């Protein structure tokens, strides 16, 4: 007789796999950071990759993409601040505008499922 797997067991197995994938990606990212020495803001990219991959694997594709973009966006902003003489107040204004746009898009165009 073939054994049937209970749906809750399948869900737990998928969560275990998602956590393993996330952990593996994070450890690989840390290894890359050791080699390159790009700790800040590189750690934000590592967190974004790991959290985004876990969310995508769990079927929450848009949340995964959003997580990746958020953490990579922090890295981009920090590097822009290092490379240019743009005032922090200008960057802060654009960050607030971006967060506001994300909230509006989520409220009107993306359904929570």
Q: Does the pLDDT at position 3 exceed 70?
A: no
Do residues 57 and 21 make contact, with C-beta atoms less than 8 angstroms apart? yes
Q: Does the pLDDT at position 113 exceed 60?
A: no
Under the banding of pLDDT at 50, 70 and 90, the label for residue 23 is very high
pTM of the complete model:
0.72
Q: Which of 66, 80, 71 is nearest to 43 (CA)?
A: 71
Task: Calculate the alpha carbon distances from 97 to 18, 63, 81 in Å.
Answer: 32, 19, 17
Confidence (pLDDT) at 112: 58
């Amino acid at each position: 007789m073939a054994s049937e797997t209970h749906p809750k067991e399948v869900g737990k197995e998928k969560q275990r796999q998602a956590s393993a994938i996330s952990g593996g990606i994070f450890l690989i990212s840390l290894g890359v950071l050791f080699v390159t020495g790009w700790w800040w803001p590189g750690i934000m990219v590592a967190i974004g990759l790991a959290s985004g991959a876990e969310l995508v694997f769990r079927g929450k594709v848009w949340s995964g993409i959003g997580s990746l973009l958020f953490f990579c966006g922090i890295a981009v902003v920090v590097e822009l601040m290092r490379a240019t003489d743009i005032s922090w107040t200008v960057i802060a204004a654009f960050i607030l505008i971006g967060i506001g746009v994300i909230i509006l898009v989520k409220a009107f165009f993306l359904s929570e499922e």
